[in-house]
Amino acid sequence: MVGGSPAAFEIARLAFACMGKNIVHVGDAGAGQVAKAANQIVTGVGVLTVAEALNFAARSGVDPAKVREALLGGFAYSKILENHGQRMLDRNFKPGFKSWMHQKDMNIVMQSAHELGLCLPVSAATAQMYNAMVGCGLGEEDSIAILKLLERLSGGEGEN
């Protein structure tokens, strides 16, 4: 996700190639930041929805692992469901992307939305959930620990 003039992008392209495979020039200076914020919307909301689905299944008395397996075979498939969903089932909340970092990024999204006068209701709700995570002492855990918060809010333990 790169912003800047086409000439500057061409000069830096080789350096970017050392950092990753999918290098996309998205526009002028600042456009890369917008793309990063859009990525945080999709990932933040995605993690929350997977956690909600697994918590819903478990609280309904249905094996969340089986529900995940079924969802992976349909339109609900996503890398978040595949990778992070499994980590949630395994209760593997070791930090990869800490919750406070997702809180920070969602705050950037919401500040930008405010400045632009945009309505982002799902992003706003997701931002509040990450605020609650940090407020509950889960800020140093991976963002997938949002499952723990949902479990607590649903009357479960959410401890592990």
Q: Distance between alpha carbon 159 and the CA centroid of its chain, in Å?
A: 21
The SS3 call for residue 14 is helix
**Catalytic status, residue 36:** yes
Q: Report which residue type is found at 109.
A: V
The SS3 call for residue 6 is helix
Asked whether 109 and 40 are in contact (CB, 8 A), the reply is yes
What are the angstrom distances between the C-alpha of 121 and each of 9, 66, 72, 109, 110?
34, 30, 26, 12, 10
Q: What is the rounded distance in angstroms from the CA atom of residue 65 to the CA atom of residue 71?
A: 10
What are the angstrom distances between the C-alpha of 11 and each of 24, 28, 105?
14, 15, 28
Instruction: Given the residues 36, 66, 104, 148, select the one marked as catalytic.
Output: 36
Q: What is the rounded distance in angstroms from the CA atom of residue 121 to the CA atom of residue 108?
A: 15
**Which residue numbers are catalytic?**
36
